[in-house]
Amino acid sequence: MRRFLEGSLILGVVVSVLAFGGAEPISFAIVQLILLGAVAVVILRGAEPMGPFAWHAFMIPSLLTGVVLLQLCPLPASWLTRFSDRADSVTGARLNCWSIEPHSTQTQLLILLACVIAFYLAQFVSQDRDCKRRLVVSLVGLGTFEAFYGLVQYLSGWQKIFAYTKKYDLEEATGTYINRNHYAGLLEMILPFSIALIFYEYGKLRGDDSHSATTVKRMMPRRSFQRFVLCLGIAVVLFAALIFSRSRMGIIAASASMLVIFGLSVIFRRQRKSGIVLFAVFIALSAGLAIWIGPGPIVGRFENVGQEYELRDQSRLSIWRDAMGLIGRHPLFGTGLGTLPVAYTSVQTAFLGQFVNHAHNDYVELASDLGLPAALVLFASFFFVLARAAQAFRSSLRNFDRIIALGCVGSLVAILLHSLTDFNLYMPANALIFSVILGLGISTQRRNSELRSE
């Protein structure tokens, strides 16, 4: 049963990424069927495979799902008019539930359920060391494919996603994604695991004796050296593809996560000198590849950032300001998950005459959709997992668990930073992978506690 659930989880993640990142509901419906089907098989067989979980691993997903269900429940009109002014304020019609657009909330609820399932499956699969290894390797392999695909697009000008001809972001690497920022979000979540594997393979290569005088010539015939070089090459390619996505915040977020990763490795590992050397080698190789390809367009993207934010009514800042007005109108229960495109029209002062589909800030948009209490609890739980993963890296008794915890820290730092200026958590494929990483972070923390109690 464990192998079946592992395969279902990996298949769901791969399909979600390859099918345009789940941007089209029909493509992500396949992923939902895969994950819901896996759960149905477990229930029909009467198996109890999930095992014990920490209480907080159940509480937050249950609370979030409950809030969204509450938004869809019919409520007395007196409640709606008492706690919000949504009646007649957005659509001109008086509604009987918290969500101003129930269909959008229902669609997002199905995506949320898929992410919750992936979160629990990742925890269960990670209870077995071999399954956890295969899951991480699958994520890195998927990221490597996307990185090469994106670099081929960028270098050759072949701007297609399989048979589909791209219409947007025609000068950037986007892999199988439509939007370069979401492509960068995918790579920045996977890149830290490839870097963590570099440390893992280097540690196996050096062995337990950190003072041994091992030369490169003596290490080259070893399989561990070849795996180390492979992991290093994959990490460089991932970072190069991210750079040529030309996503400014993606580059900044990935760079910040790498600083965190190498910083933690230097502080809490015995081989501090090795950590600094590996960091220098990685940066040198990545910079060399970027310079060889040509960094001019990337530099140009950063040079234009000031001009974009000078436009008072045509920038992310103006959208955030309007979205904050929505939060002020509906602070407790929000407008309904996934309803910002409809709700935003009632407060819109930016991009007049244009359709604004997202707030380009996950923190603001989730607060607008769910209300402040639910959004604060949700993001607090993300940072809680981040802190516990960092703690697991510092104190883990097993090197592999420590490395996976380090990868989780880097991934969470990157995506939570990128969420300040984009909506990666509203991209189904990225939300699914983010859920898997949260599950990995929880499992690493729990595994360490179990080992200490033995």
Residues in CB range of 414: below 8 A, 6 or more apart:
188, 189, 191, 192, 253, 254, 256, 257
Query: C-alpha 214: how far from its chain's center?
Result: 38
Q: Are 141 and 14 in contact (CB under 8 A)?
A: no
pTM of the entire predicted model: 0.91
Residue whose C-alpha is closest to residue 427's, from 31, 49, 42, 95: 31
Helix (H) or strand (E) holding 165: strand 164-165
Integer Cα distance of 277 and 238 in angstroms: 20
Torsion of CA 5, 11, 13, 17, to 10 degrees: -170
**Residue 338: inside a domain:** no
pLDDT in tens, 122-156: 998 998 889 999 999 999 999 999 999 999 999 99
Highest-scoring range by mean pLDDT, 29-38, 268-277, 388-397: 29-38
Residues facing 161 on adjacent strands: 164
Express each pLDDT in 404-432 by its tens digit. 999 999 999 999 999 999 999 999 999 99
The answer to the question of residue 314 being in a domain is: no
Helices (H), 20-128: 25-44, 55-72, 77-83, 102-125
CA 237/CA 400 separation, integer angstroms: 23
Structural domain that includes position 224: 2-306+361-453
Q: Is 418 part of a structural domain of the chain?
A: yes
Residue 55 lies in a domain: yes
pLDDT tens sequence across 315-368:
788 999 999 999 999 998 899 999 999 999 989 988 888 899 999 999 999 999
Q: For residues 258 and 251, is the Cβ–Cβ distance under 8 A? A: no
* Domain annotation covers residue 353: no
The answer to whether position 330 is within a domain reads no
* CA 190 remoteness from chain centre: 9
| pLDDT for the residue 297 | 65
User: Is residue 399 in some structural domain?
Assistant: yes
Q: Is 206 among the domain residues?
A: yes
Number of separate helices (H) and strands (E) present in the chain: 19, 2
Domain count of the fold of the chain? 1
